[in-house]
Amino acid sequence: MSSNKNLSLEAVLEILQERVFHHTGRYLSRSEIVLIKGSWDGKDYKEIASDSGYNMHYLQTGVGTALWAMLTEVVGEGVQVKKLTLRNILLKLAKKEYFKKLETSYKNVDRLIGATRAYGDFPKITSFYGRQDEIRILKNEIVLFNKRCIALIGIAGIGKSILASKLIEEIVLEDASNYEYVVWKRINRSSRIDNLVTDLINIFKIEEAKHITLETKLYLLLKHLQSYRCLLVLDGFEAIAQVDIFEKKLEYEDFFAGITQEKHQSCVIVTSQVPLREVAYVNVNSSIASFQIEGLKEDAAMQLIREKGITGAKCKELIETYRGNPSELEAICDRINHIFGGSIEKFFDYKTTVIGPRIEAMLNLQFGQNGLLTDLQKQIMIYLAEEITKNSALVPFSKLINDLKERLKLEVMSISKVISALEVLEQRSLIEASKKSSKHELSYGMEPVVKKYILVDPHGLIYKSLSKKELTSSVQE
């Protein structure tokens, strides 16, 4: 897709004219506009002169030299504006201006941005690091492969919501007319599928949602997704993941069956700490794609902590300790600045791991809400936290099984249930799995922050929540 298919040069020039007038008190001259338009299209001075009737030498020296210097000051933001860099700089400028208007539109549901109606409260992107590969892959899944549902799965603070917001920014910037509705719906803990679908029907103004069944509401919502191109984000879906209630799982299945299996021209992006297949049986087909969002790569994480004013030889160790989790890195950098005067070496002298607020809230939910973690899953996490603390090494699968048998005093243990529990914990990024080679068995570990939470048990949720009787029945054949 062309990067300026809908973002016309005329729209960019309008923004640029405002900036130039604000800084210089004048608008761009005709010759300057001719040079900007030709540069935007990748033409050289000779081609621009031939097309416009201006003398090539005049455009290059009489207009260009002063124009590039002026634009460097007005819109360069530290980058020198040249003929070759102009287009990318103007696209960046237009993107910023466009999304300022888009943010304003969220406050007024009847406000239009181009051909797109925008609803909801998108996260404000104050900083964004790395993720270029993820953005490229996700854009292809939505724009080229027409996936009807994209699931972004990952631990708290890993950046799922910001990634989704950045993804929409990129898609809408490239072709704002591609979608008639862009909707961001943050899921509250008090919500249920029925509430969610009702809210969406009201947003789209389909019809009065009172006194009709959930089945009818789902039908109306699906018809709307079929009739209009909608880009819909359901942010924080784990908040309504009541996985232990069978009736709720059926509602989830009906919801996801509608948005993934029925043909429509919209895309639903779901962010969740819990994989969708845990919430409901989700048929993996060509219309749905699930992505595990990991921590930032080292170069992006390094950029984050340096912008926080943290430098030194221990930066790589800090990134590894917090697994590149941007929220955790920001929180610990703030504490290093506040408590240790910005010295990362002094922080590491205390040999402590600080639990950030996002991770703590997530773990409180996992251990405190019935149905999110089974007793077996909790026992596995407690065992790993204690074992890694004793031996500072990953735990092989065979040792884990043998130790659990002894620990729980069970003569018979369902290996398949333990394997399933391990898979769930790994998918939720609550434990880590690795192997030396394809011929070795898996070994298991845990992020230092998660281990610290379990050992400290700050709210008394971990050991208190275990039921020996229920545990015994849950792991036996």
How would you write the pLDDT of the chain (477 residues) with one tens digit per residue?
334 444 567 778 888 888 888 888 888 888 899 998 988 888 889 899 888 888 888 888 888 889 999 988 888 877 788 888 888 888 777 776 766 655 544 444 444 455 677 788 777 777 788 889 999 999 888 888 888 889 899 888 899 999 998 898 888 777 667 788 888 988 887 778 888 888 888 888 877 666 788 888 888 888 888 888 888 899 988 877 655 556 667 777 778 777 776 677 788 899 988 887 766 665 555 567 889 999 999 999 999 999 888 988 899 999 999 999 999 999 899 999 989 988 999 999 888 888 888 888 888 888 877 667 888 888 899 999 999 988 878 999 999 988 888 877 665 567 888 888 898 899 888 999 987 777 788 999 999 999 999 998 888 888 765 654 444 445 554
Specify the pLDDT at position 152: 93
In the numeric block, the tokens 């570990």 are attached to 445
Q: Tokens standing for 82?
A: 């040249």
Q: Is 299 exposed, middle or buried (0-12, 13-18, 19+ CB in 10 A)?
A: exposed
**Which residue shows structure tokens 């997704």?**
225
* Residue 220 identity (one-letter amino acid): L
Helix (H, G, I), strand (E, B) or coil at 396: strand
Taking the C-alpha atoms of residue 373 and residue 477, their distance in angstroms, rounded to an integer, is: 20
Q: Can you give the pLDDT at residue 6?
A: 45
pLDDT attached to residue 470: 47
Q: DSSP letter string over 53-73?
A: ---HHIIIIIIIHHHHHHHHH
Query: Could you tell me which residues come within 8 angstroms of residue 239 by beta carbon, excluding any fewer than 6 positions away?
Result: 187, 188, 189, 191
| Eight-state DSSP code of residue 314 | T
Q: Is the pTM of this model over 0.85?
A: no
Give the Cβ contact number of residue 244 at 10 Å: 12
Position 134 scores a pLDDT of 93
Polymer length in residues for the chain = 477
Given a contact cutoff of 8 angstroms between Cβ atoms, the answer to whether 239 and 189 are in contact is yes
What SS3 state is found at 151? Answer: strand
Strands 395-396 and 267-272, sheet pairing: unpaired
- Here the contacts of 141-144 (C-beta below 8 Å, separation 24 or greater) are 141/289, 142/167, 142/171, 142/267, 143/1, 143/171, 143/174, 143/178
Amino acid at 460: G
**Residue 399: closest CA among 440, 455, 347, 448:** 440
The DSSP symbol for 142 reads I
